[in-house]
A = this chain, B = another copy of it.
Amino acid sequence: MIEELAKLSKSPLGNPTRLAIALYLLSRERATFAGLRKALNLTAGNLEFHLKALEDAGIVRTYYGFGKRPRKFVELTEEGVEELSEVLRVLREAVGDG
């Protein structure tokens, strides 16, 4: 178990900020960049940096939605949902209750 936890360092979600981003997206179909930034209390630059890493790893997808103001949207990919559930499995086992 503890070896699996150490191996999470190799996962794109093996970083608390990126794990928080994925968890936030898991409970929503999609989120706006601004909403995500406020919820996690990140700077725009920091969020941009982590979203790029997640997008390069195929974990999230970002796109622009057009309404009155163009807004950037972010959502988990299917691959992202799978990777997140694996990371949650390992973390739950490692930090189990009590």
Please give me the residue from chain B that is nearest to A11 by CB atom. B16
| Complex contact B9–A15 (CB within 8 A) | yes
A14 contact set on B, CB distance < 8 A: 15-16
When A95-B91, A97-B97 are in contact, do A6 and B16 touch as well, CB less than 8 Å?
Answer: yes
Main secondary structure of the interface of A (DSSP, over half): helix
User: A6: which B residues are within 8 A, CB to CB?
Assistant: 16-17, 20-21, 40-42
- Determine the distance from Cα of A41 to Cα of B3 in the docked complex, in whole angstroms: 6
Q: A3 contacts which chain B residues (CB < 8 A)?
A: 20, 39-41
Interface residues of chain A, those whose CB is within 8 Å of chain B, are 2-3, 5-9, 11, 14-17, 19-21, 23-24, 39-42, 88, 91-92, 94-95, 97
